[in-house]
């Protein structure tokens, strides 16, 4: 048991070490969320205005942008599998005492720590966009980000286990990132969309992560938002029930567990 835990930590540490040496990776993964934030906040804030009393478009969108940053970092954890396969390092790992499940868990753990770091960087930028920040928000956000990142890393590893080239992985991931981001409620509430979009959104684990993070930021405005809009801008309605923060995190965890199990199964089969 101790040897397995040590092996998982070594894999995770290697991911962190690689990230610390790739300054361009930090810039690129933070660049997209910041660009979205700047363009949408400046371009649409005046047109859309307040979604509810005390909740303008920027306040509504910023929690989604943080979740988007976590999503991008977590899903690109699968790229490390492809890269390790190309340079031959994966073969060396597979002949070690650590089993394939440990490799997947180690990479997911490393991706989670990296995603948490970048989420904290995004939090530090919140005052620049007029989004209030407090110690309560930071403390409540950390466990949610870890669960979300660990869960979505399973998705990235599931894809990475089946790919044989970095180019193929990046093309496929780009085709996945944008639809899932837009359908997760980052830029609009998911309870007021066409039926088919609503169904897809509620099968997307990122949707519940976005909602959980948004609740933390907008806890003081939830009641006002509910009273002053024809539809709720907070919460995801599933079978007539609007989820709470705890339920959001639980659903992310359940969907993430399924993705991690799928990643482990795929890794065992295709490596």
Which helix (DSSP H) or strand (DSSP E) does residue 179 occupy?
helix 166-182
- 241 forms bridges with which residues in the sheet? 238
Give average pLDDT by consecutive 10-residue segment, the chain, 271 residues: 78 85 71 77 59 67 89 84 81 74 88 89 85 86 92 89 83 84 83 81 89 84 49 73 88 90 84 66
234: its two tokens: 């907070």
pLDDT score recorded for residue 209:
92
What local confidence, expressed as pLDDT, does residue 145 receive?
92
Predicted pLDDT of residue 229: 47
Q: Could you give phi then psi for residue 190, rounded to 5 degrees?
A: -85, -5
The answer for residues whose C-beta is within 8 angstroms of residue 168's C-beta and 6 or more apart is none
3-state secondary structure of 76: coil
pLDDT of res. 18: 83
Question: Rounded to an integer, what is the distance from CA 216 to the centroid of its chain?
Answer: 16
Q: Residue 248 is encoded by which pair of tokens?
A: 């959001």
pLDDT at 222: 54
**pTM for the complete prediction?**
0.85
């Amino acid at each position: 048991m101790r040897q397995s835990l040590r092996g998982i930590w070594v894999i995770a540490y290697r991911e962190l070490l690689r990230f610390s040496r790739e300054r361009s990776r930090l810039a690129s993964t933070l660049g997209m969320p910041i660009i979205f934030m700047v363009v949408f906040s400046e371009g649409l804030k005046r047109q859309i205005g307040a979604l509810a009393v005390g909740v303008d478009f920027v306040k509504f969108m910023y929690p989604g942008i943080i979740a988007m940053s976590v999503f991008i970092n977590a899903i690109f954890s699968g790229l490390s599998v492809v890269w390790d396969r190309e340079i031959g390092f994966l073969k060396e790992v597979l002949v070690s005492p650590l089993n394939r499940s440990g490799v997947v868990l180690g990479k997911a753990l490393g991706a989670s720590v990296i995603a948490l770091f970048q989420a904290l960087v995004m939090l530090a930028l919140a005052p620049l966009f007029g989004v209030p920040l407090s110690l309560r928000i930071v403390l409540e956000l950390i466990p949610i980000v870890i669960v979300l990142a660990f869960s979505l890393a399973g998705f990235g590893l599931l894809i990475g286990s089946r790919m044989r080239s970095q180019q193929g992985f990046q093309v496929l991931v780009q085709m996945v990132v944008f639809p899932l981001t837009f359908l997760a409620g980052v830029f609009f509430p998911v309870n007021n969309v066409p039926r088919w979009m609503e169904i897809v959104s509620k099968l997307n684990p990122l949707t519940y992560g976005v909602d959980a993070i948004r609740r933390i930021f907008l806890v003081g405005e939830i009641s006002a938002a509910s009273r002053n809009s024809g539809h709720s801008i907070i919460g995801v309605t599933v079978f007539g029930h609007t989820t709470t923060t705890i339920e959001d995190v639980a659903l992310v965890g359940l969907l993430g567990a399924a993705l991690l199990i799928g990643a482990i199964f795929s890794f065992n089969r295709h490596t």
